[in-house]
Amino acid sequence: MILILSIMAHVLQRLSPLTLTMTLGVSSAGVLTHVLPSRLPSPRPTVTDSQVPKLFREPYIHSGYRPVHQDWRCYFLSLFQRHNESLNVWTHLLAAPVLLVRCWALVGATGYTLEAASLPLSLFLISSFTYLCLSVLAHLLQSHSEHAHYFFFFMDYVGVAVYQYGCSIAHYFYTSEQTWRERVGLMFLPAAAFLGWLSCAGCCFAKYRYKRPYPMRRKICQLIPTSMAYLVDISPVAHRLLTSPWTGWAGGDSLPYHALQMASFLLCALFFSCPIPERYFPGCCDFVGHGHQIFHVFLSLCTLFQLEALSRDFVRRRDTLVERFGKRQLWWACVSFPLLCVCCVVTALVTMKYMNEKLKTKKQRDK
């Protein structure tokens, strides 16, 4: 995994602004004056943790921070600058076209068309691109100001909740077995939707309530609802892995890919929860190899493995899906998806409203 991140960092260095000149040398300043029109601003050089507000400092990351309050265009242009968020941006930015290419290949291979039986797969794809795009925006633009930091990460939490529910819908219709559905009944999707919203609300509340250095209570507010949502979401997959025979990689079996997506997510949880390896090598993982970058890589792999597994389940159940579940249940599930999106966006915006009042009070107090 460190090797993958190192390769990406090397590519990023090759694409950094000064390396686009004839010298191809790596510069920490990230000045774009050699390649951009004079009307465009140039991102300022990165700085150390002591030179940015406490809100933007990450534990054990000592350098590579972008100065705050630059022109918005500087943060967009920092896509090609070497800083401590670069790989957080690129891991999900590159995952999106990889996912798109794989989708295109699956359309040709499975004869995918937009119909009732394919709606859960379509919602999974929409939710995947949603969380990837919102994650990219959060890590790319959050350094502009405290307001931007909170707003974009609240939107990032919306993307996570939407992705969770998109996975739940696809797992329910394509992966679940009859014996599991008889036990769970029709409560699975309402529970998954509620826990998806709760994970968004919990993350937004934790971000609003606690300041850096973050206490353990903040992590608990994030992890408990998110973990509950995942346990519900993955339950049809886990049941099938435990009860169905495996036929291996051949024959279009989806179970190996489901096992890989679960393993990837468990590694995601590890690196999200624990600041490793940077905790043991402070200042050495500022640009490459810190835990959140590894978390992003495994989350991208988890999504790709999910797509492979669900596409195989889709082919296996496509002809009988409408007969088994009925069009009404399929359409209600699909209607609930945008409703969850709206609820999560409203939750994020309401939290942002209170956050703005908090920032305004802080600004007046600091005068």
**DSSP assigned state of 249:** S
Asked if residue 70 belongs to a domain, the reply is no
Give the pLDDT mean for 210-217.
85
Q: Which residues are annotated as a binding site for Zn(2+)?
A: 139, 292, 296
Determine the pLDDT at residue 40: 83
Query: Does residue 244 register a pLDDT over 80?
Result: yes
Binning pLDDT at 50, 70 and 90, where does residue 366 land? confident
d(CA 348, CA 119): 27
Binning pLDDT at 50, 70 and 90, where does residue 20 land? very low
Domain count, the chain: 1
Asked if residue 66 belongs to a domain, the reply is no
Determine the pLDDT at residue 3: 43
Binning pLDDT at 50, 70 and 90, where does residue 36 land? low
d(CA 247, CA 229): 29
Asked if residue 6 belongs to a domain, the reply is no
Asked if residue 169 belongs to a domain, the reply is yes
Print the domain residue range for 240. 86-98+115-366
At 82-128, the pLDDT tens digits run 999 999 999 999 999 999 999 888 877 777 778 888 899 999 999 99
Query: Does residue 32 register a pLDDT over 50?
Result: no
Asked if residue 286 belongs to a domain, the reply is yes
Determine the pLDDT at residue 212: 83
Q: Which residues are annotated as a binding site?
A: 139, 292, 296
Burial status of residue 113 (CB atoms within 10 A of its CB: 0-12, 13-18, 19 or more): exposed
d(CA 133, CA 150): 17
Asked if residue 229 belongs to a domain, the reply is yes
Asked if residue 123 belongs to a domain, the reply is yes
Query: Does residue 307 register a pLDDT over 90?
Result: yes
- In terms of average pLDDT, the best of 34-43, 210-219, 296-305 is 296-305
Q: Which candidate, 233, 134, 227, 145, places its Cα nearest to that of 189?
A: 233
Asked if residue 315 belongs to a domain, the reply is yes
Contact 133/152 with Cβ under 8 angstroms?
no
Residue 321: give its domain's CATH number. 1.20.1070
Enter the tokens of residue 119: 């709606």
Query: Does residue 168 register a pLDDT over 90?
Result: yes
Enter the tokens of residue 27: 């510069």
Give the pLDDT mean for 163-183.
94
Residue that has been written with the tokens 């077995």 in this structure: 177
At 348-359, the pLDDT tens digits run 999 999 999 999
Among the listed ranges 78-87, 107-116, 150-159, 318-327, which one has the minimum average pLDDT value? Answer: 107-116
Determine the pLDDT at residue 249: 67
